[in-house]
Copies of this chain bind each other. A is one copy, B any other.
C-alpha cells in the first residue's frame, strides 16, 4: 500500500508515521505539507534522523490520486477544502480533523466558527468510531476520524446508554487531557513554565466536541440528549481520562453494568473492560491504541462513575485512523497497532 500523509508535521502526523513505519502492508509513505515544501523532514524532527530524510512535498492532487490511502492530519478548516477535490479520484480518505464529523453544517459553523465543508461530501463521510461503525467504515471512501475526547467518552458510555442501564437525561462528563492535544504550535497556554505544575479548565461549556458526542449518542444509541461536558489540561504530554456521571436505572446492579460493557466489546481487541481497580490511570494505555473503560456503581447515590482512558494521539487520533484503514482494506484491526503500552 502507498500511503500519503497531509499535515505530517503535526503531532497526529508524526504518530501516523510512528505506526505506519511498522505496518507490514505499507510499502511507501509520502509526506505532504501546505507550508513547508522542501523542508527535510528529519532536519525538522531530529528523532527521525536516518529514518525519514526526504523533503516534505507540496500537495499535488494528481499525485495523491495514485495513493491507496490519504490521511489528513491538519487543523480544522483545512481538509474541508482539500478532501472534496480528492473524493472519487481513487484513494481511501481519512480525516483526523473535525471537518467531516458533524452532519449538521450549521452546528459545525456554530461550534467551530469556520465555514463547513460542502454538505454533500459531509453526508457521504462515515464517522470512524471503529467499534461502533465497523461495517460502514469497511465500505467508506471518506472517514471522519473521531475526536480524542469523544473516543474515550463514547466507548465508555454508549453501551450503557444503548442498553438503557443509565439515565441519559443528565450526563455529566468531566474530561482531562495531556497537553499534546493542543498541538505543536507554541502559545502562552502551552508555554512550559506556565503549563507545567498547573492543572486548568478551559473552553468552559464551549468545547467543539460537545455536538460530536451528542450526535454519536443519537446515531449509535438512538437517544437525543444534551450533555454537560468540560475539558481540562493536565501537565503531562499524552493521555486522556474521562470521568462521566449518570443516574442508574432503578434496580440495575454493578454486575449488570460491567457485563454490558464486557458483552459489547467481547470481540473488539482494543477496548479493555477493567472490572476491579482501586486506581485507573492514563499510563496503562500510553503509546498504544487501547481504550480502557470501567464503571462503578455508587450504591449510596445510585449513580455510576464511568471511566474511559486513551492515549489522545493514538486511539484518540492516529491509532484509530490506522485501525479504520485496516477495516477499509479488510486487514485484521491490530495490523501495525499491536504495540505494548509504554507504561513508564
A: residues with CB less than 8 A from B are 11, 14, 17-18, 21-22, 45-51, 170, 172, 174, 176, 178-180, 182, 184-205, 226-228, 230, 232-239, 241, 243, 245, 247, 269, 272, 274, 277-288, 292, 296, 298, 300-301, 303, 305, 307, 313, 338-344
Contacts and interface: CB of A to CB of B under 8 A. Distances in A.
Contacts of A185: 191
A190 to B, nearest CB: 5
B22 A197 contact: no
| Central interface residue in A17, A198, A279, by most chain B CB within 10 Å | A198
Contacts of A292: 46, 49
Given A193-B179, A205-B298, A47 B241 contact: no
| Central interface residue in A18, A196, A199, A241, by most chain B CB within 10 Å | A199
* Oligomer copy total: 4
A236 B237 contact: no
A237 B228 CA distance: 29
B186 A191 contact: yes
A174 B18 CA distance: 32
- Ordered nearest first, which 7 A-B pairs have the shortest CB separation? A200-B281, A186-B186, A198-B283, A174-B174, A205-B298, A47-B341, A47-B284
Contacts of A277: 46, 204
Nearest to A235: B236
Contacts of A202: 278-279
A187 B189 contact: no
A301 B344 contact: no
A243 B230 contact: yes
Given A200-B241, A201-B307, A46 B284 contact: yes
A45 to B, nearest CB: 6
B243 A280 contact: no
9 contacts: A17-B340, A22-B338, A51-B340, A176-B176, A192-B237, A204-B277, A230-B305, A232-B243, A287-B342
A176 B199 CA distance: 8
Contacts of A191: 184-186, 190-192
A123 B338 CA distance: 40
B184 A282 contact: no
Contacts of A230: 243, 305
Contact of A236 (B188, B196, B204, B282): B196
A282 B45 contact: no
A133 to B, nearest CB: 22
A197 B287 CA distance: 12
A197 B274 contact: no
A240 to B, nearest CB: 8
Contacts of A176: 176, 199, 232
A237 B193 contact: yes
A91 to B, nearest CB: 23
Given A22-B340, A194-B343, A226-B301, 20 more contacts: A11-B344, A45-B343, A46-B274, A47-B284, A49-B272, A49-B274, A51-B340, A170-B247, A172-B172, A174-B174, A174-B243, A186-B191, A196-B235, A197-B197, A198-B282, A199-B234, A201-B281, A204-B278, A204-B305, A228-B245
